[in-house]
Structure formats: C-alpha cells, structure tokens
C-alpha cells in the first residue's frame, strides 16, 4: 500500500489564465502524460518514464508475457546494438538507412541501435545451426527498447526515437507451418486487446522494407492517428484507405474515413533474412534449407499513449482497468474536520489494508494530503483517472460509517454510491474480480495461404 505524497510525480500546474505557447504539444496523450507527472522529455523524441508510467508499462509487459507464453513463445533478450554488416547483407541498410541511429566503436567496427531484430535473430539461428526439422517451429520473443531516428518526432510517446516494443520471431520449416504460428499469434493479440477493451482492428497492409508474403497492421482509431482507415458501416469492413475512392471493395457502399494509430504489426517473412545470413535447418532428407521466418511486433509505450489518446478527455486521464497505475485511491477526511475526529488516519489505513486483502494487493493508493479539502483532492484524483475512488466524507460520521464509491465510466465517474464498510469491501472485490480476465489463448480458426 502506497501513500500519494511519496509518489514521485512532478505535476505541472498551469495557472488558470495562462496563455500556452508551447506548440510542440500536439495531442492530448502527450499533454496529459506530461502535465500529470508520468513522463518527462529529455530531448527531441526521448522521454523519461516516471514511476506511474513505469507501473503502466510493467502491467502491459506482464499481459504480453502471459499471452505469449500461453501460445508457447519463449522469452529471450538480444543486444540493442547490431552489427551493421548484417543489415548490409540483407539490403536493409540501404533501404532504411536514414532511420537508423549508428555508432562506431574504438576499433572502427560499425553498429546500429536496432529498431527491430530480424537480422540479429537470423544471425543467432545461423550461429547455432543448422537446426533439425524436429526442433521447429520455434517462437522466440523479447520486450526491449528500440531506436529509430525519426526525422520529426511528435505526439510524445506515439512517435519517439526510443520506444519499448515486443518483437517476436517464428522459425519454421514450411509456409504452412508459418501460417499456423501466425494464427496462434493473431489469437494472442486479440486476447491482449480484448483484455484492454480497446477497439483495435487487424487490417491487411503492405510488407514494405520488411519484405515477406503476408502482413497485417493492428490499428486503433484515434483522432491523433497518422494512418487512415476506411470503415464501412453496412458490412462492417475495415481496411486501410489506399486511394481517393470511398467505396467499399467488399459491398460497394460508401465508407467513412477515420484516423488511426498503428499499435502492432505482424509479418510472414519467408526466407529473406535466413537465406542472406545462412540460417538453415536440416530437412528430413538431410538437405540444408533456409528457415522460413515470421515476425510480430507491438509497440508497448505507443500502446500506453494510444490508450490514453482514445479513452481520456481533454482534461483528465482515463485507462484500461487492467493497466491503470493504481486501481483504487482512498481519500480520507480533511485534517481537523469533524469527520477526521471520528474517522481519522488510522481508520483510513485500516480500510486500505482491508481493500487490498479483498483482491487489490499492491493496487491501493492512500491520499495522505490531509491538509487539502476533499473536493480539491477529488479533482486531482479525477484528473489521474483511477478506476475506483473511495471517499471518507461526511457519511463516515454515521453509525455505521458509510463510504462514497466512485467508479470510472467513459469520460467521467458514476454517481457516488454510499456503502457500509462490509458492503464496500464486497463491491470492490466484485469489481476487481471482473477485471481479472482469463488470458488463456485458444487457437484461432483463421487460416491463411502463405506462398513462397
């Protein structure tokens, strides 16, 4: 159980009549995460994640780990620096070189800060190979910081030069084997986004510089998004807007264009990287054959910002319940008030312990700024968007004491419900239990034809 005064959260307080001249604030997630003390810019495109944002990222990573482990993926860690010569061999150093942050060591060897690790993974498989066909398929993943030299970083964490990302890599013997893994990862993605309760859509997309035979983007509609989706309300088709026509390819009805944020991407790569870097497996007939690869990404820090972008209002943060920094805040009486004399700090602490024991271990935050009025603290709590707020107000002087419970819904909170202590604990446990969604991933029924 934590106390609010102990949280390192450098909130930016803007005077009511201040004229804001900072034109670099370009979207509400950037504005709110900065002003509410969750992130701090260090230079263009680089950010410090402060403790509350770090808690959100930890929770996202835990959910990703659960979903990936459920489908048999194994976590590992690759170095952030990759030898430039590997990218030269695959041709990507020339294709995307301007986006790469490059370094050279004292011996003149050239490296790059990896934005993704297809070359590094293929080089690893080549180094330990050739693998036997009996060892495949393999699905390996990591969650780590990546780097991209964005020409114009903007929108805060939505387009930065350093970002946290899940990247997973499949190694297969055949296109059919790759297709089966692709479907399993697709199911894991859908489960993750269902847990977050975000309307994220999978749409076909070009493979671009990555190459390969199959590619899908995972898009979250949002005003700040730089991609555009064509949405058909007649047949529920959603696709990338690829030309000026607003006619749906599926049913010939008119579509609506909406902005969206890409939060994930999946590819079937084929043998582009394995053939170039010598990553082979030994087939049944003992023939060395290039490994058939696939890869999968989710922007962790981008997903954090995108969630805020979609759920928050202009003045207050809102979170998917599963990743809110803390699930419940308790606001005690103002020090020196009648309520304080009858339901003081010790009672507030005891209540916090009981609520943690009811299914919120490590998720209860106590507002110990007793010198401030309840109204002032409630306003600050609303701005932070805690999923549940318990207020120890005037009704705590009753016999038995009653507490006000506020639950975050949409852009605001529900009207307060007055509950006795036992009722409060039961209700909070019920709400917390509803948030514990089963993350078991079932095999997807979707199938794809993957060609060489």
Dump pLDDT digits (tens) for 278-311: 999 999 999 999 999 999 999 999 999 999 999 9
Q: What are the C-alpha distances in Å from 101 to residues 97, 110, 114, 151?
A: 9, 11, 8, 11
pLDDT at 23: 56
Q: What is the pTM of this model?
A: 0.93
Mean pLDDT (whole number) for 415-422: 97
Alpha-carbon gap, residue 33 to 24, rounded angstroms: 14
Where along the chain do the CATH 3.40.50.800 domains lie?
Answer: 326-434
Domain at 326-434, CATH class: alpha beta
Judge whether residue 405 has pLDDT over 50.
yes
**HSE-CB of 128 using CA atoms within 13 angstroms:** 9
Of 37-46, 224-233, 443-452, which range is least confident? 443-452
Judge whether residue 222 has pLDDT over 60.
yes
Judge whether residue 351 has pLDDT over 50.
yes
pLDDT at 246: 85
Where along the chain do the CATH 3.30.930.10 domains lie?
Answer: 46-219+264-310
What tens digit of pLDDT does each residue of 29-48 get? 999 999 999 999 999 999 99
Give one DSSP letter per residue of 359-422, joined into a string. T-TT-EEEE--TTS-HHHHHHHHHHHT-SEEEE--GGGGSSS-EEEEEEEETTEEPPPEEEEHH
Alpha-carbon gap, residue 163 to 225, rounded angstroms: 17
What tens digit of pLDDT does each residue of 93-128 get? 998 888 999 999 999 999 999 999 999 999 999 999
Q: What are the C-alpha distances in Å from 177 to residues 171, 210, 266, 355, 432?
A: 9, 20, 16, 48, 39
Domain at 46-219+264-310, CATH class: alpha beta
Mean pLDDT (whole number) for 240-269: 91
């Amino acid at each position: 159980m934590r106390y609010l005064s102990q949280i390192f959260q450098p909130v930016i307080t803007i005077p009511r009549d201040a004229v804001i001249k900072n034109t670099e604030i370009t979207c509400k997630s950037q504005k709110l995460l900065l002003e509410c003390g969750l992130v701090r810019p260090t230079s263009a495109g680089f950010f410090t994640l402060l403790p509350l944002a770090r808690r959100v990222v930890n929770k996202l990573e835990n959910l990703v780990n659960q979903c990936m482990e459920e489908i048999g993926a194994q976590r590992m860690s690759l170095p952030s620096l990759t030898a430039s010569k590997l990218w030269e061999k695959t041709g990507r150093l020339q294709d995307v070189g301007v986006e790469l942050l490059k370094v050279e060591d004292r011996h003149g060897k050239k490296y790059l800060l990896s934005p993704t690790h297809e070359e590094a993974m293929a080089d690893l498989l080549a180094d330990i190979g050739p693998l036997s066909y009996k060892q495949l398929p393999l699905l390996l993943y990591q969650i780590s910081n990546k780097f991209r030299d964005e020409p114009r970083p903007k929108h805060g964490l939505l387009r930065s030069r350093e970002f946290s990302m899940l990247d997973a890599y499949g190694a297969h013997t055949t296109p059919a084997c790759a297709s089966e893994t692709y479907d399993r990862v697709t199911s894991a993605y859908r489960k993750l986004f269902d847990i977050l309760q975000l309307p994220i859509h999978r749409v076909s997309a070009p493979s671009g510089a990555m190459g390969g035979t199959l590619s899908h983007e995972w898009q979250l509609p949002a005003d700040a998004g730089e991609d555009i989706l064509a949405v058909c309300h007649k047949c529920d088709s959603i696709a990338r807007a690829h030309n000026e026509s607003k006619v749906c390819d599926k049913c010939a009805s008119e579509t609506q264009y909406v902005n969206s944020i890409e939060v994930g991407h999946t590819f079937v790569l084929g043998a582009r990287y394995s053939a170039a870097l010598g990553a082979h497996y030994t087939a049944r007939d003992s023939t060395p054959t290039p490994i058939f690869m696939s890869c999968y990404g989710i922007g962790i820090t981008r997903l954090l910002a995108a969630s805020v972008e979609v759920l928050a209002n202009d003045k207050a943060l809102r979170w998917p319940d599963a990743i809110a920094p803390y699930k419940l805040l308790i606001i005690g009486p103002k020090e020196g008030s009648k309520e304080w004399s009858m339901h003081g700090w010790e009672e507030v602490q005891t209540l916090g312990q009981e609520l943690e024991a009811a299914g919120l271990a490590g998720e209860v935050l106590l507002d110990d700024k007793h010198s401030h009025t309840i109204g002032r603290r409630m306003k600050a709590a609303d701005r932070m968007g805690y999923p549940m707020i318990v207020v120890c107000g005037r009704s705590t002087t009753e016999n038995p004491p009653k507490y006000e419970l506020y639950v975050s819904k949409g852009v605001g909170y529900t009207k307060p419900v007055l509950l006795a202590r036992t009722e409060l604990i039961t209700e909070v446990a019920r709400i917390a239990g509803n948030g514990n969604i089963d993350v078991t991933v079932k095999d997807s029924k979707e199938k794809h034809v993957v060609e060489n």
